[in-house]
Structure 1
Amino acid sequence: MPEDQRQRPLLEDVQAARKTLEGISRVTALEGSRYLSRLVGAPVHLKCENLQRTGSFKLRGAYTRIAGLGEEERARGVVAASAGNHAQGVALAASLLGVASTVFMPVGAPLPKIAATREYGARVLLSGQVVDETLAAAQEYAERTGAVFIHPFDHPDVVAGQGTVGLEIVEQCPEVGTVVVGMGGGGLAAGVAVAVKALRPSARVVGVQAAGSAAYPPSLAAGRPVSLEGVATMADGMKVGRPGDVPFRIVADLVDEVRTVSEDALSAALVHCLERAKMVVEPAGAAPVAALLDRPGAFGGNGPVVAVLSGGNVDPLVLERTLRHGMAAAGRYLSLRLTVPDRPGALAALLKKLSEADANVLAVNHVRTDPRLGVGEAEVELQLETQGPKHCAELSRTLGAAGYRIVG
């Protein structure tokens, strides 16, 4: 690794990055959440990096890194690899600085992120199935062409740029007791920890990873970055199989705890952000909220809590699937198969019973010919929107009491 990547950014580096970013990145809002505050037992605020330029915090680190290049390096152009947010940050930063950029993105990256990256001025090349494979392709391109590789998280300038989020948090919430931040490679969590721990030493910094791509817990246990054999999560912004060397050392020293959250928890958090906070976030951006919803009692004992909504660049199709998954995880969808008499009016009577029980029927499939059914029976498959787990249980009891046999 080059010598400059062995450096560890300090508070003064983060403060210098903020000066570099003046007029470039936004000071994003800190919004209170009454629901999460009641749940956690302490004031909870959402740091809205989903409203940052390019839709995520990534512009901060990308611009800081590219702005620090010399004239000869800028003339060679830059290359990056990303599932989408870093791609957009690099593309916009390079355009603002008059530097040519090439961005490698994984095959299957969300189409809106690909389109936005191109619109910000980058040439986009698709390679690899996960970010680690895409990183390797971009690094090979850099070696072959001389372009400067802009790593998404493993460089001190990038970490310093992301750390400006932490400066803003402490200024906006001086009494902050806990900062909850999502983690993929660790650049954001490391930068936030550098700033927050220097200015507010008593504050806790809690990292959150998707359980299907959680490289930090085994790496911290081993005392060095280790690679996962595979990663699987809907949170493409967290789909990183190995921590960065630079952020890993900072996380190991300064981050108090790393938690993991399930896909169900991510989905439920995304639904919560949309319904209660009126915020569109991507699954990776919802990870801190997922952690709060998952175990609220673990966060309220040290004063105000700030959860970083790191990004809002979500593919509408992914959003649709995730919302459905989140509502199902929250017990607001119910799938049922039950038998009814095969006679005129039987289906109408069933639907009337569901209406009286305040269930919203989303889909109905009426099966009349199946070896499992008795003579004079039909089967109805239902997709219902409910009011929550208690309502689901009540619906099952109501249908059973009305004589319907639930078979699945």
Structure 2
Amino acid sequence: MIGLPDIEAAAERIRPLVRRTPLLAGTQARSPVTKGTLLLKLECLQPSGSFKARGASNKLLSLSPRELRLGLVAASGGNHGLAVARCAAVSGVAATIFLPENVSPEKIAKIRQWGATTIVAGASFDEANRGALAFSEQEGATYFHSFADPLIVAGQGTVGLEIFQDAPETDVVIVAVGGGGFITGAGLALKALKPSLKVVGVEPVGSPTLHASLRADKVVSLDTVTTRIPTMACKRTDEQLFALTRQVVDEVVLVEDSDMEAAARWLWFEFGLAADPSGAAAIAALATGKVQVEAGQTVSVPVCGAGLPISIDGI
């Protein structure tokens, strides 16, 4: 599907459209979540609010003028939709974003502010995605898959490339998982550059897609998805993507939705970082002890999605 050269090429291609986000030392915390050295990769500072800007930009820059004129369509729990809407705005073309019923009102509003049309279709990402595919077939709009497109995966992988470049001493990277494109792309870059580095995924208890598939050693379709976190709700990963995922992901741990919400509050209190629950998933894994990093080790975690502090319960 892809390798390190594809990720390096994506990094050069998308440079004009994305930010090289800082890797912030998580020091001076009142309530530390790990004994190790914590580094926070601030993907919440991307123009669209998440790492998804990278994959969508890489896909955008591969399109022909005709494909652009037909407009863009995607399904999303929120962050991918924002990234595709921004790509459409940058290119001056139309975008239609299909969303599940539990998407946050703030993200719907922001997608519309980027000029895209939003359609709420179904209770889950998978149902919204069927709507997006049908729209693409009927209207001819260019479809942006949220995690299984090689160009999307290569774009997301540039996060791993930057983490290694800025902190080659990193021993562990913890990545939030929705469909698996982000952790696979980042893992491919990181493992190619430092094979000893450990790549750990975090999923909600209510959407253990990769966790179940890795245990079964094959792609598993979940019967139900119960997580409240729409950006991490996915019943099934992609077969070709999973063939790469299993090569680069060492472990996937599960956390409760409430753990991620608490971790988002922690990021806001300790560092003034406004993350959505998926953006705080890696911190939740550390805070709950699902991933333990010892003194003398360095753990890098992407704060992968932005959220409004006022939308976090308890703030």
Shorter-chain TM-score: what band? over 0.9
- What is residue 277 of structure 1 aligned with on the other side? 271
1:60 matched to 2:54? yes
2:148–2:241 CA contact under 8 A, matched in 1:
yes
1:135 maps onto 2:145 in alignment: no
1:73 aligns with 2:43: no
Pick from 146, 154, 171 the counterpart of residue 152 of structure 1. 146
Superposition deviation, residue 227 in structure 1: 1.4
Residue identity opposite 1:220 in structure 2 = L
Q: One-letter code of the match for 1:26?
A: R
Matched ranges for 1:13-32 at <5 A:
13-32=6-25
Distance 1:36 1:174, change over 3 A: farther
- Counterpart of 1:88 in structure 2: which amino acid? L
1:362-401 aligned within 5 A? none
SS in 1 for 2:224: coil
SS at match of 2:12: helix
| Structure 2 CA distance for partners of 1:120 and 1:27, relative to 1, 3 Å | same
Given the superposition, is the C-alpha separation of residues 274 and 22 from structure 1 closer, same or farther in structure 2, using an over 3 Å criterion? same
C-alpha deviation, 1:251, in angstroms: 1.5
CA 203–123 in structure 1, closer or farther in 2 if over 3 Å, else same: same
Equivalences for residues 143-292 of structure 1 within 5 A? 143-292=137-286
Partner of 1:334: none
Q: What is the RMSD computed on CA atoms of the aligned residues?
A: 1.9
Asked if the contact 2:102/2:228 (under 8 Å) is kept, the reply is: no
CA contact (8 A) 1:41 1:300 kept: yes
Shift of 1:66: 1.8
Do 1:49 and 1:310's aligned partners in 2 also have CA atoms closer than 8 Å? yes
Give aligned-pair identity as a percent: 36
Q: Structure 1 unaligned runs (5+)? A: 1-7, 325-408
TM-score, length of structure 1 as denominator length: 0.73
What is the DSSP-based 3-state SS (H/G/I as helix, E as strand, rest coil) of the residue aligned with 1:224? coil
Contact 1:62 1:158 in 2 (8 A): yes
CA offsets 1:262-290 (integer angstroms, 9 cap, x no match):
12321221221111122111111111000
Distance 1:302 1:207, change over 3 A: farther
The corresponding residue for 2:103 is 109
TM-score if structure 2 supplies the norm length?
0.94
Q: How many residues align?
A: 314
Cα deviation, residue 59, structure 1: 0.9
Distance 1:36 1:96 in 2: 41
Structure 2 distance, partners of 1:54, 1:137, is 23
| Bigger relative CO (Cα 8 Å, ≥ 6 apart) | 2
* 1:65/1:166 CA distance change after superposition, 3 Å: same
**1:42/1:100 CA distance change after superposition, 3 Å:** same
Opposite residue 117 of structure 1, the aligned amino acid is: I
* d(CA) in 2 for partners of 1:315, 1:90: 24
CA contact (8 A) 2:73 2:96 kept: yes
Aligned 8 A contact 2:70 2:141 in 1: yes
Task: Tell me how far 1:190 sits from its aligned partner.
Answer: 0.7
State the match for 2:91 in structure 1: 97
Residues 17 and 37 of structure 1: CA distance in aligned 2, closer, same or farther (over 3 Å): farther
1:131-157 Cα distance to aligned partner (Å, 9 max, x none): 110000110111111212110001110
Alignment of 1:298-309 (within 5 A): 298-300=292-294, 303-309=297-303
| Cα distance, 1:302 vs structure 2 | 7.7
Q: 1:304 to 1:231 in 2, by over 3 A?
A: same
Deviation of 1:297 after TM superposition, in Å, equals: 6.5
Change (3 A) 1:155 1:37: farther
Q: Please give the alpha-carbon distance, in whole angstroms, between the structure 2 residues aligned to 1:212 and 1:267.
A: 14
Q: Distance in 2 between matches of 1:120 and 1:272?
A: 29
Contact (CA 8 Å) 2:274, 2:309: kept in 1 or not? no
Change over 3 Å in CA distance of 1:263–1:123 after alignment to 2: closer
The alignment status of 1:46 with 2:40, answered yes or no, reads yes
Return closer, same or farther for 1:142/1:204 CA change in 2, 3 Å cut-off.
same
Q: Verify the 8 A CA contact 1:36 1:292 in the aligned structure 2.
A: no
Q: Provide the secondary structure at the position in 1 that maps to 2:271.
A: coil
Q: Tell me the CA shift for residue 296 of structure 1.
A: 6.9
Q: Deviations over 1:33-77 (max 9, x none)?
A: 134996532211111111111111111111111211222222222
Structure 2 residue ranges without an equivalent (≥5) = none
